[in-house]
């Protein structure tokens, strides 16, 4: 079983080029990580590919923090396992 949390943090780090120390559970994408909408879309696309899931646009707008994204993806991955 893959560690969803770790894999998502690796994708965020690789895609955004941010240090591990700023990728905290409560970190917000737009304020704390300095993500713009294009960066966020690229992160989502990479996560969708990595976990073979689809994250609807209406859900994406609600995923404001790292933990919210991890929790959502974990639910999707384990629900379909």
Query: Annotated active-site positions, please?
Result: 36
Q: In 3D, which of 18, 29, 14, 24 has the Cα closest to residue 63? A: 29
Tokens 């909408």, residue located: 37
Q: Are 13 and 20 in contact (CB under 8 A)?
A: yes
Report the 10 Å Cβ neighbour count for 20: 10
């Amino acid at each position: 079983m893959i560690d969803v949390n770790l894999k998502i943090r690796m994708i965020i780090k690789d895609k955004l080029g941010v240090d591990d120390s700023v990728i905290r559970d409560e970190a917000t994408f737009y304020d704390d990580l300095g993500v713009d909408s294009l960066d966020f879309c690229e992160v989502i696309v990479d996560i969708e590919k990595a976990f073979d899931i689809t994250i609807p646009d209406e859900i994406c707008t609600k995923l404001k923090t790292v933990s919210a994204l991890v929790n959502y993806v974990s639910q999707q991955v384990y629900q379909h396992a």
